[in-house]
């Protein structure tokens, strides 16, 4: 049996940890030893409480990078802001990952948006796999632009990509490990596994361009949905704060008579809610999302891929408040499907009363969401996790391409 280490390094929200949890279960059932190295040990505690597995803090970049070009043109720009500008800095972070993997005697490293972990695995000759949504596993070629609606000089994108690649390869050279050929390889590992569908892929890959496993759904919690009293439509909201428009949006929901159940981790941890009203209930922990969605007229979130996938599988339309380039691209895909509203594609100031009214009256939105659900009615989350776990298990038996001393 093998030691398999699941890692989450970049990005926010519980979807990353939920995906790793779901993939870990079948591997544990097969007798493998599993451990987690995570970006966030606080908000994931309740989610992972029933796993009873060792959880460690991921080595993270904690400093501000000055002098970067304005705006993020590609995934390379995101990496530059996370320490990939400097080989010495990345050597320190990779050293932390290497020590963890050596102490855990890792046989396979699974990274969910964890390029530092994948780099460290390569430096040690450990087989690795990138799992996750399409955004964090780019196509095997030049990194695509994040903002395809803006004219970004190709020379700038090429230079940024070259800088990130040079940093990674300098770190690998210090450990006598083989270099990467492309910057995209930093995010793909030895076996990139796309845990999404082509309809939600932000890079627009054709269905035949890759193997699509569908989303990994581990559930965001076991809390029973506790809705406010009343007769109005139920709305579930999974939010992250702070956000300047939470209060106005929640006030509009209350005015429309919606009974809103909201999970916002900061509020669950004791922070004051952005809006208080008898028609707004604040969950004390992660809610059983499948139960909440089945009872909802529509759902609200910041366009995290996991929540979006589960809502669409349930045939529930979405009101989306993206906060990052990744979530904006996901929200745009949902809007193009006709299954939701992406408020970041709308002019400001927003008329929140009109937005909520459109969601409540949006039969077309629900028709599109239900059509998506029918297309994927055969999808089985447990079978998906077993399939992906089987691929990961195969990496245990694959000899490392270039093993180096640990």
Helix, strand or coil, per DSSP, at residue 80: helix
DSSP state of 266: H
Task: Determine the Cα–Cα distance for residues 168 and 120; give it in Å rounded to an integer.
Answer: 10
Specify the pLDDT at position 398: 57
Which of the following CATH numbers is that of domain 234-375: 3.40.50.1100, 3.40.50.2000, 2.40.50.140, 3.40.50.720? 3.40.50.2000
Q: In this predicted model, what pLDDT tens digit does every residue of 109-136 receive, in sequence order? A: 999 999 999 999 999 999 999 999 999 9
- The reply to whether 3-214+381-396 and 234-375 are identical in fold is yes
Task: Determine the Cα–Cα distance for residues 121 and 292; give it in Å rounded to an integer.
Answer: 39
Query: For a pLDDT cut of 70, what percent of the chain falls above it?
Result: 96
DSSP state of 326: H
Is the bond leading into 349 cis (omega within 30 degrees of zero)? Answer: yes
Q: In this predicted model, what pLDDT tens digit does every residue of 23-34 receive, in sequence order? A: 999 999 999 999
Q: Two tokens at 378?
A: 């055969």
Q: What's the pTM?
A: 0.88
Confidence label for 306 from pLDDT (cuts 50, 70 and 90): confident
Topology (CATH) of 3-214+381-396: Rossmann fold (3.40.50)
Question: Are the C-beta atoms of residues 300 and 249 closer than 8 Å to each other?
Answer: yes
Q: Two tokens at 174?
A: 């210090």
Q: Locate the DSSP E strands across 15-86.
A: 33-38, 55-57
Q: In this predicted model, what pLDDT tens digit does every residue of 146-205 receive, in sequence order? A: 988 888 788 889 999 999 999 999 999 999 999 999 999 999 999 999 999 999 999 988
Nearest Cα neighbor of 84 from 119, 109, 113 is 119
Q: In this predicted model, what pLDDT tens digit does every residue of 234-278 receive, in sequence order? A: 999 999 988 999 999 999 999 999 999 999 989 998 999 999 999
Sorted by where each begins, the domain ranges of the chain are 3-214+381-396, 234-375
Q: In this predicted model, what pLDDT tens digit does every residue of 337-349 receive, in sequence order? A: 999 999 999 999 9
Specify the pLDDT at position 406: 43
């Amino acid at each position: 049996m093998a030691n398999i280490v699941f890692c989450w390094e970049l990005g926010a929200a519980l979807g990353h940890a939920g995906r790793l949890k779901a993939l870990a279960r079948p591997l544990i059932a097969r007798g493998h030893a599993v451990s987690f190295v995570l970006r966030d040990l606080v908000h994931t505690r309740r989610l992972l409480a029933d796993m009873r597995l060792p959880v460690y803090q991921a080595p993270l970049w904690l400093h501000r990078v000055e002098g970067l070009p304005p705006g993020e043109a590609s995934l390379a720009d995101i990496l530059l802001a996370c320490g990939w500008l400097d080989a010495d800095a990345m050597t320190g972070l990779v050293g932390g990952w290497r020590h963890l993997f050596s102490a855990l005697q890792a046989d396979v490293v699974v990274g969910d948006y964890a390029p530092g972990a994948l780099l460290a695995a390569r430096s040690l000759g450990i087989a690795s796999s990138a799992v996750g949504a399409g955004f964090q596993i780019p196509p095997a070629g030049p990194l695509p632009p994040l903002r395809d609606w803006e004219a970004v000089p190709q020379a700038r994108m090429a230079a940024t990509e070259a800088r990130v690649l040079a940093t990674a390869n300098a770190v690998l050279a210090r450990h006598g490990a083989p270099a990467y050929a492309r910057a995209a390889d930093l995010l793909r590992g030895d076996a990139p596994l796309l845990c999404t569908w082509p309809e939600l892929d932000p890079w627009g890959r054709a269905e035949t361009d890759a193997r699509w496993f569908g989303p990994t759904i581990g559930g965001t919690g076991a809390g029973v949905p506790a809705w406010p009293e009343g007769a109005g439509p139920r709305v579930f909201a999974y939010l992250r704060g702070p956000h300047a428009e939470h209060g106005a949006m929640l006030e509009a929901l209350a005015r429309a008579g919606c009974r809103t159940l909201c999970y916002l981790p900061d509020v669950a941890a004791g922070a004051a809610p952005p809006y208080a009203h008898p028609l707004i209930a604040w969950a004390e922990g992660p809610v059983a999302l499948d139960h909440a969605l089945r009872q909802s007229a529509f759902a609200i979130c910041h366009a995290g891929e996991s929540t979006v996938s589960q809502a669409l599988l349930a045939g529930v339309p979405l009101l989306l408040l993206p906060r990052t380039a990744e979530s904006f691209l996901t929200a745009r895909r949902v809007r193009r499907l006709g299954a939701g509203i992406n408020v970041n594609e709308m002019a400001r100031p927003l008329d929140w009363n009109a937005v909520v009214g459109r969601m409540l009256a949006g039969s077309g939105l629900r028709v599109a969401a239900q059509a998506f659900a029918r297309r994927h009615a055969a999808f089985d989350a447990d079978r998906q996790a077993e399939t992906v776990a089987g691929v990961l298990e195969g990496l245990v038996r694959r000899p490392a391409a270039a093993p180096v001393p640990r």
